[in-house]
Each structure stands twice: as C-alpha cells, then as structure tokens.
A and B are shown apart, each in its own frame.
Chain A
Amino acid sequence: MGVPTKEPTIETKAVEDTKSIGNTNSPKTKKKRLTTTHRISLGDVTPNNLGQLKRLNSVLFPVNYSEKFYKDVLEVGEFAKLAYFNDACVGAVCCRKEPIQGTIPEQTKLYIMTLGVLAPYRNLGLGTTLLTHILHHATCGTPTAPKFIEIFLHVQTSNEEALAFYQKYGFEIIGTVEGYYKKITPPDAYILSKKLVKNI
C-alpha cells in the first residue's frame, strides 16, 4: 500500500501486449492479502466509460493505444471487461479475435492484448476474476460466436510473476520472440498459449 510504486509494473509491462499482474513484493512469498469485506465485480466497456479504460491503460502500460484499439474493444463484447473493486474501476482486460487463415470452417484464436490491475489492488483476486471470465467465455461458445481453439498472449521474458500467474491457469510457453519490445529491456517476449480444443 502507500504511494503506488511504479517501477515493478513498468518492468512487467510489454510494449504492445503485456499483462501486468505484478506484485511489488517478492514473487516467491506471494500470498493473497487479507482484507476486510470487499466486493469485486466486472462491467462492460461502453462508449461512456471508455475514458476510464484509456486512463487505466495509460497508467498501466507504457504505450499509447490507438483510437482503433479502443474502437475494436467496443466490438468484442465479453472479451473486453472492466474490473471494479468496491465500485472503483481498477483493472481491465482487452482481447482480440484472430481468425486462422485457410481453415474451413474458419477457426479462431483469442489473443489477450492487455490485462492489468492498478498497483494498490494487486493480489486481491482481480486478475484471476478477469482471466477466468475470459477463459469461461472463450470455452463456452455460443451459436453465433464459436469456440476458440486457442488463447494466447505475449509476456516479457523477465516478468516472472506474470509467467507464474498464467502458468497457474494452464498456459504454456510455446515460443520466444526476440526483440519483441522496442523500448524496454529485456526486449524479448515469451509466447504463452493455452489450447482450448483438444486434438488440434
């Protein structure tokens, strides 16, 4: 608590697609914090609260996202969400659907563009709430929105905490992109992936 420390979040930040589930304490001793009563809830991203998402991203990630990013976010439905802690907006997840070219019927992957929680609100289960929400909707497809075969993302190689977080939910490292980040060191990123449909 106290004045939010910025450095750790920046370290865990990727240029385009990083998730900042950072803890300012040592990751080894990470432990869910005990607090008195609180409420966690998720909400839709709408044109009216887009300002809050922009504000969150500007604090969480060292990147200015384009107007197109925010326009697309309004179209993905359940795959872009704001997280509220005691009614304060403190975190968000934004995904993008990526059709695989040449597959018939067309198959789609889900890419997590950003997932982050404000520093003072970490280790309270908000990141988990956001990620489980995405996983849930990615697996239980509807007739109009088919299931995704895979969900994936990039994580900066030094971000042990984010790695641990995603691995806990069944993500695996399937590759490394060298020089993925332009402005931060190390510039390399792991590709983390979780297969959602068996036998593919």
Chain B
Amino acid sequence: MRELPSRESAQFKQILKYYEFKQYKKGLKAAEQILKKYPEHGETLAMKGLFLNHMERKEEAREFARKGLRSDLNSHICWHVYGLLHRSDKNYGEALKCYTHALKIDKDNMQILQDYSLLQIQMRNYEAYNESRHHLLQLRSNNQRYWIGLAISYHLLENYETAGKVLKAYEETLKEKPSSMNFEYSEMLLYHNLILEESGDIKAALEHLESIKGEICDQRTWKEKRAQFLLKLDRFQEAEEAYLELIDDNPDCYSYYEGLHQAKKINVNSNNLTPEEEEKIITIYKELSQKYPKSNAIKRFPLQYITGENFKTLVDEYIRAALRKGVPSLFVNLKNFYDNPQKEKIIEQLVEGYLQCLKKHGTFTPPNENENEDDIIKEPPTAHLWTLYLLSQHYDNKRDNTKALKSIDEAIEHTPTLVELYMTKGRILKHGGNISEATKVMNEARELDLQDRFINSKCTKYMLRSNQPIEAENTIGLFTRGDAPDPITDLMEMQCMWFALEEADCYFRFNKLGKALKRLHQIEKHFSDITDDQFDFHTYCLRKVTLRAYLSMLRLEDQLRSHPYYLRSATNAIKIYLKLYDNPKTAALNDDDQDYANMTEGERKKAKSKAKRAALKKQKEDDEKKEKSKDEQKKRIEKPIDDDPEGEKFLKTDDPLGEAFKFLMPLQELSSKRIETHLLGFEIYLRKEKYLLALRALLQAYKIEKENATLHKDIIRFKLEVTSNRSKIHPTTIQVITEELTSKILPEDMNLIKFSEEFIERNKNSIEHLLVGAESFYLIDPSKKQEAGNLLLKVYDEKYNETRTLQNCISVYEALKNTFESPKAEEFYKKCKEWFPISTYFNQETK
C-alpha cells in the first residue's frame, strides 16, 4: 500500500516540509497521526525513524527505518532514509548502497543525488563523484554551485583542462559580471587560477591572473601569486619589483624576503656564501632597514646568511636591542644560528661580555675612560635580567647544567617575580635529569600568575612527566570549563591531544597499560572524528565559494594521520600491544608493586606516598565539592558513566598484534618516510613470523637511514632468527631473504661479527652505536658476555664526549649492570654522578 488518501497524503507532504525545516517534534507527531490509521505505511514509518534519529533515539529510529523499508521496498524515500541513518552512524559504505537503491527508483531526485555525491567525495571516490556532479549539473544548469561542483570533481581527477573549461563555460553564461567587490565571484576566479597553476602552465596562469585583477577582493593573495608566478617564469626583474611591493605592504613577512633572494639570484641555501654574496645581502638589508626601521624580520634575516665579523657586528646590535627592550623569546630567535658552531661561539662571547659590563658599569660595553661615572647612560635594570636569562638558556642548550643553573638563580635573585625565569629553571632541571625538582619549580611559576594558561599547561605536563597524574588532572582542571562534568571529559570533548599523549606516557611508565591504551585509542578517535567532521564542509564550502580553502582542507584530511601526534600515539600504542603480546601476564597483574616496577626503590617509595596523598586530597576535595554544589550539580551536564575506567577491554584483546597493526597501517600509508614506521612494522611482522614482510620493513628502513642503531640490532635479530628457524621456513622464502640481504645489506663474505665491528667503526663517535654494537656481539654469541661488556667500557674514551648524554649514559649503565652483569658497572655509575651532578638517576642514596 503506497498511495494514501488525499487528506493523509497532504499531511505526509507536510511531514517532508517539517523535516526540511528541522521541526522534528512536529514531524514526529504528524507521522504518528498517519500511522494511527495506516500503521503499515512504509514511507511514514521511515520518516518517523528519521525524526527519532534526530531526537537522539537511535535504537527506535533504526527499528522504524527498517520496518518502513520492509513494508515498501520500492520507495526511494525509504531507501534514502535508511541511507541517512547509516550515514549518521558513519557507515558510509552501507549508506552508499542504500542511495544507489534509491536512485534506481528515482534517478533524477536532486536531494538523493546531492547526498550521494557528498558520500562519494567523503569516501574520495573521485570517478563516481564526477558522474554524480555531471548528473546534478544536467538537472540544474542555472545554478552556480553545480558548475563549481563539476569543476572540482575534474580538478580532483587531475583533469585540469576540463576543470578549467567548466569554469570558463560557466563564467561565459553570466550575462553581466557581478559588481566589482563580490567576494564569492572573486574566490571563484582565484580558484580558477589555482586550477591553471596546478596544471603546470604557469604562463597561462599568470595571464589569467593579470586578466582578473579588477575582480579580486583578496588583493594580498593576488599579489603573492603574481610574484610567485614571475619567479617561476624566471622574470626576475619583475619578480623583484613584485616582492618589494609586498614587503612594502608587510615588512615582517619572511616568505617575501625569500622571494626577494630568489629574484636577486642569491642562493641562500648554500652554506658557504661568497664574500661578495654576503656583501650583497648586507647592502640589500641595510637599504631595507632604512626604509622600514621597525621591521624585525629585516634585522634578523641577514643574520641567517652572513658569517664571521659581519655576523658579529650585526648580531651584537640585534641582541642588545632585544635585551634592552626585554624580548623573552630572544633565545629562540637566536637558536637557529647555532647550526653554525662559529656563530654560537660569537654569541656566547658577546653575551658573557655584556654581563660583565652590566655588573660593573650598568652598560653593555665598557664606557670611555674619561667619562664621569654619573654621566653614563645606563641600561635599564631589566637588561641585566634578560642578559642572565639569555645566558642561562644558552648554557642549558649546551647542557652545561651547572652554569645554566647559576645564571638562572642569579636572575631569580635579581627579579624574583618573573614567571619566565622559573620556567627556564624548571627546564634546566628537567634536562639535568631531575624531573621532580623541575616540577616543583614549575608549580612555583604557576602560582605566580594563576591566570596564565600557558604556564598552567606546562606545569601540568611536568607533573605528568614526574608521574603525578592526579595532581596533573587537578591542575589542568583549573582551566577546563566549569560546567563540564570533570576535566578529563572536557579535554576529550575539546580534542586536547597533548594531555592525553602525556598521560598515556605516564601510565605506560607506571605499567598501567590499560589506562595508557585507553588514552591512545582516544587520540585515534579524535583523528577519525576530524575526518568525519569534514562532511559538512562538502556542501558549506560550495555554497560559500571558499574553494581554495576547501581544496586545502581535503588535502589536509588526506594527510591527517601523518601528524606528529598521530605518529607518537600510534608508536606508543604499538609498543604497548607488543608488550602485551610478549608478556600476556602483564595484563592480569595490577597490584601496586607492578605499577611501579620500572622505578628504583627510592622513586617507588616517593611515588607511592605521593599518589596516596594526592588521592586523599582529591577525595577530600571531591567531597567538599559535592557538599557545596548540590544545587550546581543539577545544572551541570550529567557525567557520562565510564564503564571501563581502567581500559580493561583493551588489555583483554585476543589479538594484540592485530590491534598493533591497525595503528601501523596509517603510518605505512602516510609516514612511510619515517624510519620508526618500518622499525615498528618489523617488530610486528617478526612476531607474526611473516619473514618476507619483516625483510621488506628492514630494507625500507635501510633505505631511509642505514646507520640507524636500532636497525642494526634488528638486522642481527632477523638474521639469527631466520637461521635458527630455518627448518620451519619455506625454502623459497629463505632464498629470497638470503639474496636480498646479501645484495643490499650484508655482503656474502661478511659474518655478523665483522658486520657489527664495521658498524661500530663507521659510527665511532656515537655511544648509541657502541651500545648496540656491544649488544649485537652478545646476541650473536652469548658466551662472549664479558667481552661485549668490556667493549662497552670504551664509553670513557674522549671521542664519545659529544654523545655522552644523560639518556645514553643511563642506557649504558643499565646494559652494563643487567645485560652484561659487568663488575665495572658501579664504577661507571660513580663517573656518571660527576658528569650529571643534578640527575636524580645517578644520585640515589641507596647506591
């Protein structure tokens, strides 16, 4: 039964209107009225389902939609509704199928075609998208948005020519051009220009650009594009003029200066400019600085390229002006120049000189001898302060903890109210290996300025680093929304990833793997939410004609999981799943001692009592809050009940390697240039005994960074495992492995020992490589434990000074003690105590 009597039929049409205008309640009521008389009317049932879905009654919604479809399989409405429900559940594949059915019944239905095309672009099904857009344009050829839609579909198929033609055809249909300042028209023209640019025909693009000048609202972009095109066409003289004009508009934009360099044919990328080129740069910037005396870019830019005395003169001016003015970010600005050790030395000498003079005379440089002390114009006292601040950051960068601490303490004594000073002190302590003291200092900084969100977040991060998740949650809670049920829920809603990442790390250290995984999966969810969120923009951007932004959004979404946050969360998730696979029992253990298994005795005691205190405090605060805000609580949004706060369901997975692999796939697709991706892939494949895939991972890693230390160890592990499992592996596989390894990595006449010896020799200044080398010898021949340990003792050699970092020394000590059981381990520990005087690791009393 499809046809309703005329009264109900009119009512049904009304229902469709209600939906269009988002009057879901009214719609639901009307649908129910019809259903009273005709309970089996399929389309009404389906519409009821649709309304329920919008009223967050998902279960019922699905039931009605299904019922509707069953009663009326030939209705495009029923199929469309079913598709919409799938779409709202993000079942895009199923939704597509439903739409296809609906279109079979009513092939020219605009609404369905429209929704169909949205799904296709969401799924990046460009061919099908192109077809739908064709169909839509045929149906409505007078509407701008369908022309543009078709052009975009050709653009995405990289058919630039047709894309351009479509837009041109549309532009020609316009009887009169829109008034001069029409933003949408202007954006469309710029989009048209982008298509030409991407087609590679820069000459045509430039011609087009010149022809549309009068219609463009975004003149800045127009000028930038023109300058870029001129450069690409080697029209340097004009490009130079174009960039000078842009600099006149904004003398602080770096990319304009880069353009200017290219136009003037100065190859700034080469590290060694000739003296003539240096002079040229100095002259250019001297002229510019007279014209734009306030531009910071002009002062800073040449410093990147000039060297020696030239550098000294200009950097001297630059630093002094910044110290006088009080620029907290000065060190960050200077750090770029440290790539060049000579420049680093120059800066150090200059700043140390200032400090001496400031102490003596209150000036940066010694005054003339015949000048009267009272007549000297002194620098403001803050200059002294910022000099100390800069110097401490400089020493910290060199990891000279003692000098860095001395300078920063002096600065704090000079002006004890400045938040930045404590933050730097915290960072120095962290670098020196004393995270708990660093956290204390960060908290002091936070207390100086309670409305500073930045320092609050920094302090939170330090708390997590020093294993205090409860304090961290309380601290970050000071800045989350007051009406959120709790800080964590709010951070989740805000898709705040840094916190989740740090907290996951923190739980990982505690061995609370379930909780850590919970956070990491949450980050994965943020990424898929961001992917889903683009859905609305497919229509919105076409309507608003923000096409260039739309294109760049599509491209960003395609690369989304190449974001460093994803890389970090996926890496850790994979590591945890590998750990679960290797020690299935870890999942079951959850007692206190297990929590602190990775810490030393002292740390463990501290962490335990700290956690206890914090838990008590939190309990007390929670109770107080409950008392205080019983009324408020009503207003608050109900806290969603978390039925798995400990993340047990992740721990209980039957297939940890499969879970790990899910995190690996996006990395393989988007981060294939990162060696981490392949090293992690190797770990998974090796455990799955997929030797060919493991081999491929090794070969790819080898291509990226053949001297990577972990890679070397992995090659050894691989070779040893393949050899010992020889009988179980298919002969062809063995053959491929042998051929590939010998031809690409490990020459046939070389045994593993020699391979490792050469590896150490090639990387003779790196402790990390020495350690891996020693471990490799031990892996190859476990009876050579003592020799391997002795090899590692070379770590004292002077040539290792550069790489003797705290982290490396901790690894070496632990290897000496645990792996090689070397009697010399404690001697090394004592030496490290001298090298790292403030590190907690090397200064434990129990030793």
Contacts and interface: CB of A to CB of B under 8 A. Distances in A.
Contact of A56 (B359, B384, B414, B417): B417
Interface string A95-119: 0000000000000000000000010
B413 A52 contact: no
Interface stretch (B334-342, B445-453, B518-526): B445-453
A56 B417 CA distance: 7
A30 to B, nearest CB: 11
Nearest to B419: A52
Interface in A36-58: 36-38, 47-49, 51-52, 55-56
A152 to B, nearest CB: 28
A56 B376 contact: no
Interface of B: 324-326, 358-360, 362, 374-382, 384-385, 410, 413-418, 447-451
A75 to B, nearest CB: 18
Given A59-B416, A87-B326, A120-B385, 16 more contacts: A1-B378, A1-B381, A2-B384, A4-B413, A4-B414, A33-B362, A48-B450, A49-B450, A51-B450, A56-B417, A85-B381, A85-B382, A86-B325, A118-B415, A118-B417, A120-B415
Q: Which 9 A-B pairs have the closest CB atoms?
A: A48-B451, A120-B381, A2-B359, A89-B417, A48-B450, A51-B448, A51-B447, A86-B382, A38-B380
Nearest to B447: A51
Contacts of B448: 49, 51-52, 55
Nearest to B420: A88
A35 B377 contact: yes
A9 to B, nearest CB: 12
A35 B378 contact: yes
Nearest to B360: A2
A145 interface: no
A80 interface: no
Main secondary structure of the interface of A (DSSP, over half): loop
A86 to B, nearest CB: 4
Contacts of A87: 326
A33 B415 CA distance: 18
A90 interface: yes
Contact of B380 (A31, A52, A55, A85): A85
A56 B416 contact: yes
Interface of A: 1-4, 31, 33-38, 47-49, 51-52, 55-56, 59, 85-90, 118, 120-121, 124
A86 B362 contact: no
B415 A90 contact: yes
> In the complex, which of the residues A1, A31, A87, A121 has the most CB atoms of chain B within 10 Å of its own CB atom?
A1
Given A1-B358, A38-B380, A88 B450 contact: no
Given A90-B415, A120-B415, A34 B382 contact: no
Contacts of A2: 358-360, 384
Contacts of A37: 324, 380
Contact of A88 (B378, B417, B447): B417
Contacts of A49: 448-451
Contacts of B324: 36-37
> In the complex, which of the residues A49, A51, A59, A87 has the most CB atoms of chain B within 10 Å of its own CB atom?
A51
Contacts of B417: 52, 55-56, 88-90, 118
A59 B384 CA distance: 19
B326 A88 contact: yes
A86 B416 contact: no
Contacts of A33: 362, 378
A52 B384 contact: no
B379 A35 contact: yes
Contacts of B415: 88, 90, 118, 120
A59 to B, nearest CB: 5
Nearest to B446: A51
Nearest to A92: B417
B382 A38 contact: yes
A36 B326 contact: no
A121 B359 contact: no
A198 B681 CA distance: 88
